[in-house]
């Protein structure tokens, strides 16, 4: 993962990085083989940079870490979940554009 503003999430670090985070957290559930995941990646990168200090952004590869996606009922990717206070407060499914993602984030920041 090239962007230092994005945390690589695993089944092991998910609770610490997301559920116990002081900041609202955007989690991108993705996979290498997923075309729409590659399509939305620059948007997720841009949001991570634009909201640095206000929002934590993490990505979880569902092929390498399967427990957490199952726990949250991830059935299609990309799925973006917004966590606040350790709870899911919003979900965005599919390769949405930046303005739609930012509109959803604005409700929770």
Using DSSP's 3-state secondary structure scheme, residue 99 falls into helix
The residues pairing with 28 across neighbouring beta strands, listed in sequence order, are 59, 80
In this predicted model, what pLDDT tens digit does every residue of 26-72 receive, in sequence order? 999 999 999 999 999 999 999 999 999 999 999 999 999 999 999 99
Any catalytic annotation for residue 52? Answer: no
CATH fourth-level superfamily of 6-92 = Glutaredoxin (3.40.30.10)
Residue 29 structure tokens:
């559930």
**pTM of the shown model:** 0.95
Residue 85 structure tokens:
């206070």
CA distance 99 to 96: 8
In this predicted model, what pLDDT tens digit does every residue of 74-94 receive, in sequence order? 999 999 999 999 999 999 999
Residue 88 structure tokens:
């899911």
Any catalytic annotation for residue 37? Answer: yes
Catalytically annotated residue among 7, 18, 27, 37: 37
Question: Hey, where are the domains in the chain?
Answer: 6-92
Catalytically annotated residue among 6, 18, 34, 57: 34
């Amino acid at each position: 993962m090239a962007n230092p503003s994005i945390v690589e999430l695993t089944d092991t670090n998910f609770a610490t990085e997301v559920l116990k985070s002081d900041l609202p957290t955007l989690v991108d559930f993705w996979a290498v083989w997923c075309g729409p995941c590659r399509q939305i990646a620059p948007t997720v990168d841009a949001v991570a940079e634009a909201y640095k200090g206000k929002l934590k952004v993490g990505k979880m590869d569902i092929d390498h870490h399967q427990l957490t996606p199952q726990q949250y009922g991830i059935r299609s990717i990309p799925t973006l979940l917004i966590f606040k206070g350790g709870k899911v407060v919003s979900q965005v499914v599919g390769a949405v554009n930046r303005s739609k993602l930012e509109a959803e984030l604005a409700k929770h920041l």
